[in-house]
Amino acid sequence: MLKTFKRHKLESKLAKTEKKLETTQRIIQFISEYNVPGLRRLLAVALSSASTPEEILRRLERCIAGMYDTRGQFSQYEYDLAFIAKALGGPRLLYAMAHAFGIPATSTLARNAPLPSVHVCLSEPTANDAESAIQTMLDPSVHQPPPKDSVRLAGLTLMLDGVAIEEVCRYDHRRDSVIGLCREHTKDMELRIEDYRTIQILEEALDGKLVHVGKDATVLAVASIADVVHYLPVPVLLSASCKAEVGDGLFRWLRLFLDVWHTHPCGEVLHGPIATVASDGESSFRNARFHLGMSEELDTSTGYGRVLAQCAGLNLRTGPYGLLVTCDTKHIFKRFATLCRGMRGIQVGDTTITSVELAHQLSQLPSLTPAGALDLMDPDDKQDVPRAVELIEALGDIEEQSDTMVTSETAKMEKVAFVAHVLAYFLEPFISGDMSLSEQLKSLSTYAHLTYAMYKKHGLSFLTSPLYVDSHAVVKTIFSTSACLAALNDPELVYLIILEGTDRLENIFSNVRTQDHSRNFDVLQLSQKLSIAAMLTEIFSRYPHLNRGHRRRDLTKRGVDRVSPSDVDHSNKAVVGVDIPKAWNDGRAQANRILQKFLGYTYDLFEHDFAQPSVDMMRPDGIHYVGSSYTETSTSTIPSLSQSPPSPLMDPEASLSPRSYPPSPLESSTTQPLPASHQSVRPDLAPSEIDIVSQLIQQRDVGQFANGLEDHLDTMALTSDSRPLTQVDRRFVYIDKKPFRKDSLIPALLVSESARKATIRTLRAAGITQKKAMRLQQQKVSLGIAESKTSALYSGDLAGTLVRVGDVLCMAVVEILHFERKGDKNSKQLYSVELDDLSSPNVLATCQIVALESGDFLHNSLPDQWVWRSRYLSLNEDAAVVTQDNSLLHIPLSRIHILVPELLENPQLVGHRLSYSRALDHTELESALNDAWDMFDPTSDTYLRDVASIPTVRSTSLPYRDSKGSRFFFLSGIGAVVQTKQKSSTTLLECKLCGQSETLAHMRNHVGKHLLLFLHDYPDAALKVSLSLDACGWCGLPGCHTSLKYGKSKQRNRTIESDCEYFYPQMRYTTAATTTPTQPSTNVPILCTLCQPLKTVWKYEMLAHVIGVHARPDNNSLPALPASLWLDMHISKLEERRMGIEEADIHEYRADNKIPGSDWLENLDDAGHVSDKRYAYNRPASPAVPGMTRPLDRRDSVASSSHRPHKLSKL
C-alpha cells in the first residue's frame, strides 16, 4: 500500500514536471514564433508574482492577441531607446516602436523621463539664470562627470556662439513671461504677463524701438578639454540679442556665469574648472576677451608658468586663476580665405598681392580650370569652410607650378607662395591627423613668428588686426593648455588641438537644424531643440554601440574642414614628454628659414624685441594689443573677478575643492517692477479691438511659432525651477471678458517685420528674410579671368602716369594690379576693362610704381631702353613700415597711358629657372609723358584741382635716372603748379611790376593799384614792365591760373585755388571785396556767368573779358549781362579815388565804356529791378539772377540802348 502511494505520488510529480516542461517548451516555441512586445517586462512581472508557466503562457497569448499589456517596469535603456526613436523619428515612429517592441509610449516617456530644458534668459543673464542653467543641464542624473581626476583637472572650455533665430516672441508658461526680447534693452522691463495691458506696453516699446525682438541667440555650452571620447559640448544657457551688445556688457554677464560656476555644486566641484573661454570672431567678444583673459600676469615661478616663460615672445597674460581666452579655428580659416578674396590685398615686401592676382595665378594651375579658380575666389559665401581650406591648399600648389614656368611673374609668384606657406603653417595642424603634438606646436610657432615678423615689417597690411590677434590667441591657448596638461603628469592624457575653439558646438547646431523639416527656429524652439540634442549626446555616450558616429574622413583629400577624434592618431598626441620650449624655438628657426627662402632676409630681432619689457607676439610695441585699445589699466573701469586660492590647473597638487568667489556686485534680479499705473491694468476695450486681435492671430501664421515642437515633444515635461501652475486660467488673458491664449497672442503681437528668415544658409546668416530673399537679385561681377574679346587693359599690364616728387612732375611707370568702378557698392575687383572704360574717370586702376633701370646698365638691352626687373618703389621711402597706403596708387583710367613692353631674357638663372624682364622704349616713355601733360587744360577752371590731384611720391628713385645720374621723363617750365611750400602772410616779397617790397598779405592790393591805373590809361611812374588784360591779380604777370569755386552748402563757402607764386590762401574774400582806406583794391576772382562752364576772371579784367569774348559780333557792343554780374564787376568811385584817380577821369572812363553808375546799382533790388524811378532808364537788360521772377526789360538796357561799340582802348 505504501509503495503504491509513493508510486502514484511520483507519477503525479512526474506528470506535473512533464506538463511544466511541455508548457516551458510551448513558451519557448511561442517566443520563437511571435515577436512579443515588452517580453522582458512581461517575464519580470510574472516572475515577481510567482506566476506558473501556464499563467505566463496565457499572458503571452493574451499579449499577442492585444488583450494584455504590462504597465511600468521600464528600464533606463528602454526609456533612452524611446527618446531616440521620438527625437530622431518623431512621435509616429515612437508609436510604432512602442506597439512593436513594447518600449515606453509618448505619455509614459514624458511622465517618467522628463527632458531637461536649456535655460532661456528673459533679459541679460543673471546669477539666478546661471544657477538654474547649471543645475538643470549638469546635474549628475543628466550629465555624467569625467571618469578620471586628470580629465576633470584638465578643465573645460566655455563656448559661446551666436545662431540666427526668427524674430518673434514666445510665451514661457513655466515663468508666465515673454521670452525672445533682446537682452540689451530689457533690463528694466516687466516681462511677466499679468494681463493684456502688459502685452500692449511691450508692443508699444517694440514700435518705439525702445526694445527689439532678438535676431540672434547666444548659446553657452561647456565641453571637456582632454576627454577625447565624450567630447561634445553640453548647452546650458541661451539669451536673445539684437546684436547691439558691446564688449563691456558681454564681459559683465560672462563674468557672472564664471562666478556661479566656481561655487555651484554641479559646476567646478563635479565637472572641473573652466580653463578656457572660446568664441567666434565677433568683435564684442574680442573686446570682452581682453578683460576676461588679460587681467593678470602668469606666475612664472611655479607650475606650468616656468615652462611657458622659456617661450620668448609668448604672451603670458591670463585671467584670474589662469583663465585663457581663444577663438574658433574654423572662423580663422574662413577669414584667411576672405583676406585672399578681398579688395585690400596682402602686402609682402614691396609687392601688394591682390585677389585678382591670386585668381590669375590659380587659373594657371593644371589642376584648376578658370571656372574652378573663380569658384575658389568667389567672396559671396564667407561661411563655406571646405572651400576656404581648399583655397589655402591650392595656393600652396603655385610654388610647385612656378618651378616649371618661365615667366616674368616669377618674383610675384614667390610672394604668393610665401603667403601660402604662412597660412598653411596654421592650417595643417588642424586638418592633418598624422602630425604629432610636437610637430603641431612647432608649426603653430612658425606661423606666430612669421606673422610677427610681417607685422613689424608691414603693420596691418599683411594680416588684418582681428585676424592677427585671434590667430595669436589660438596659438597662445594651445601652448598654454599643453603646458597645463603636461603638469598633470598623466601618461595617458592626450591633447587633441582639433577640439580647440567652438567647432564642437557646430555639431550641436547641425543636429538642431536637422531634427525636423524646419531649418529655422525661434528662441523657444531653439531651447527645445538644444535640449533634445544634448540628451541625444548623453544617451549615445552611455550606449556607444547605438551611435553611428561620424563618417571616417579621408584626410588626404582637399577641402577637409571637420576632423573628428576618431580620424586622428592618438598615440603621438600625449602631452607628457613634449618639449614645449623646444617646439617654440624650432618654430622660430623655421620662420627665419622661410623668410630667407622667399623674401631673401631673416628677422634677427626676435631676441632683441622679446627681451624688452611687455613686448610679445600680441603686443609688438610693448604697450598696445593689436586690434584693441585695451591696456592693463583698462580693467579699472570694469569690475574684475575677485581673488581666491590658486587654481588646480595651475598646481596639480592643489586642493580639489571649488574656488570660493565672493558675491558678484552685479544685479541678480531679472526684471524691475513697472510703476503702479502699469500693473494689473485691464482696460475696457471696445468690441472692435477683440475683432482686431482675433484677425491678427489668424492673419499671422501663429501656428508656425506657437506650435513649435509640440507635435514632436507632445506632453514631454520640461523641468524648470519655476513655480507650479496654481491658477487654471493663468495661460489666458481676457479682453472684454473674452479669453485669449497667451501662447497665441504673444507671437501675433510681439513680432518683428523680419521674423521669418530665409532658409538658405548664406542668406540666413546675413539676417535676410524670406520676403527679401524672394526679391533679392544676386549681382555677381566676374573677376574676369576668361579673356574678353573687347578687353583692352588687363591686370599685370604696364602703364604711365604723372606723379609729383617734391616740386617736380614726372612720369612713373606702374604695374596695374586690378580695376574697380568708383561709387558702385556691388563692384568687385576686375581683372580687365573694356575699350570704352579707358577714358572713364569712374574706373580706378590700383597700381604699384615699378623701378626702372637704364639700358646702359645691362648688356642684354639697348641704351635707349628702360628695364623693369620685378622691383617696386615705395610711395614714401622714409616710412619705417611698408604698408599698402605707402605702396599703392588708385588712379582713374583717364589718367594712365598704356605702355607696351618688350620681353627680355636674362642669361643668368634664378634658382633653376630662367628669369625674364620687361623693357620699355625711351621714346615711348617720352611720348607718354607729353600725352599725360596734354590732358591738363590750362584754360579750364578745374585745371588747378586736376593738377593738385596728381599723387605725391617721396622717392629718390624718381625721376628715373640713367647710369650717370641724369634725370629723365620730368616736366620743366611749369612754374609754381607743383609748388608745395606755403609762404607766411608777413613774408616780404618783391613786386614783379615795380620792384617794391610788400608783404604777401598786401601784395594783391599793391598789384591791384597797378592794374586799375593801367585800365584807366593813368600814368604809373613806378611800373617797370608792360601789363596786359590777362594779368594775375596776385603777381601782375600773365600765365598764372586762379579758380573760384562755391560750396554746395547753404552758406556757399568760396574756395580759391591758384598756382601763382604770390597766392595768399588765407585771404578773406568778403573783406578783400570791400574797399577800405588801407586796402582800397577790391580786385578779387569772380565768376563769368556767361561762360559755360563758368570761368574765373579777376574783377578788374571782367569788362575786358566780356568785350573780348562775349561782345556782339555785328557791332562789337556789350551783350546783355545778368544783374548779379554787374554787381560783382562794379568798381565804385570811392575805390577809384582811393587808388589816386581823379574824378574827371573816372567819369570819362565810365562814359566811354557804358558802365552803370553806383546810384543805379544801389537801387537794384534782389529781383534785378530798380526801386527808384529816377534811375529806371539806366537799368541793364539781362536774364533773371537767382531768385528773379522775370527778366529785366531789354529796352532799358545800357548794353542795348545805343548798340555802340565800347571804347576800352586796351582791347
For residue 491, is pLDDT > 50? yes
pLDDT in tens, 695-718: 555 554 544 444 444 444 443 433
pLDDT at 1181: 37
For residue 474, is pLDDT > 90? yes
- pLDDT tier at 678, thresholds 50, 70, 90: very low
Lowest mean pLDDT among 522-526, 536-540, 563-567, 1176-1180: 1176-1180
Domain ranges of the chain: 76-112, 329-475+553-610, 792-971, 988-1201
CA-nearest of 222, 256, 271, 234 to 121 is 256
pLDDT at 1199: 39
Lowest mean pLDDT among 485-499, 815-829, 1190-1204: 1190-1204
- pLDDT tier at 317, thresholds 50, 70, 90: very high
Residue found by looking up cell 587633441 in the block: 496
Cell of 443: 608649426
3-state helix, strand and coil shares in percent for the chain, rounded to the nearest 5: 40, 15, 45
Q: What are phi and psi of 218, to 5 degrees?
A: -90, 120
- CA 1008 from chain centre, in angstroms, equals 57
- pLDDT tier at 962, thresholds 50, 70, 90: confident
Q: Which residue has the higher pLDDT, 635 or 85?
A: 85
Q: What pTM was computed for the model?
A: 0.75
For residue 1197, is pLDDT > 50? no
Transcribe 661-724 into DSSP letters: -PPPSS---S--PPPGGGSS------HHHHHHHHHHHHHTTHHHHHTTTHHHHTT--B--SSPP
Q: Which residue has the higher pLDDT, 558 or 482?
A: 482
Residue found by looking up cell 552758406 in the block: 1051
- CA 662 from chain centre, in angstroms, equals 38
Q: Could you tell me what percent of the chain has a pLDDT over 90?
A: 34
Lowest mean pLDDT among 755-759, 814-818, 1030-1034: 755-759
CA-nearest of 930, 1128, 943, 950 to 1040 is 943
pLDDT in tens, 190-243: 899 888 898 989 999 998 889 999 999 999 999 999 998 889 999 999 999 998
pLDDT at 859: 52
Query: How large is the average pLDDT for residues 937-951?
Result: 77
pLDDT at 253: 93
Type of residue at 117: S
Query: How large is the average pLDDT for residues 893-912?
Result: 70
pLDDT at 757: 61
CA-nearest of 848, 857, 958, 864 to 902 is 864
d(CA 466, CA 34): 66
pLDDT at 1016: 86
What is the chain's mean pLDDT, rounded? 80
- pLDDT tier at 1146, thresholds 50, 70, 90: confident
Name the E strands within 724-836: 732-735, 738-741, 791-794, 798-805, 808-821, 832-834
Lowest mean pLDDT among 222-236, 480-494, 622-636, 999-1013: 622-636
Type of residue at 985: S
Lowest mean pLDDT among 201-210, 784-793, 1111-1120: 784-793
Would strands 913-921 and 988-990 be described as parallel, antiparallel, or unpaired?
unpaired
d(CA 1051, CA 1037): 33
pLDDT at 689: 53
356 in Cβ contact with 831 (< 8 Å): yes
For residue 148, is pLDDT > 50? yes
d(CA 329, CA 404): 34
pLDDT in tens, 1027-1040: 888 899 999 998 88
Question: Which residues are paired to 318 by β-bridges?
Answer: 296
Q: At what angle do helices 53-64 and 2-33 cross, to 10 degrees?
A: 20
Residues 6+ apart with CB under 8 A from 665: 639
Residue found by looking up cell 571649488 in the block: 658
1003 in Cβ contact with 990 (< 8 Å): no
For residue 725, is pLDDT > 60? no
Rg (CA), the chain: 42
For residue 784, is pLDDT > 70? no
- pLDDT tier at 649, thresholds 50, 70, 90: very low
Residues 6+ apart with CB under 8 A from 15: none
pLDDT in tens, 823-838: 665 566 777 888 777 7
Lowest mean pLDDT among 680-689, 1012-1021, 1041-1050: 680-689
1063 in Cβ contact with 1034 (< 8 Å): yes
Number of residues in the chain: 1211
- Residue 1190 CA: distances (Å) to CA of 386, 1087, 1169, 1187: 71, 22, 10, 9
d(CA 254, CA 641): 11
For residue 667, is pLDDT > 50? no
Q: Could you tell me what percent of the chain has a pLDDT over 70?
A: 78
For residue 36, is pLDDT > 60? yes
List the helix and strand counts (H, then E) for the chain. Answer: 40, 30
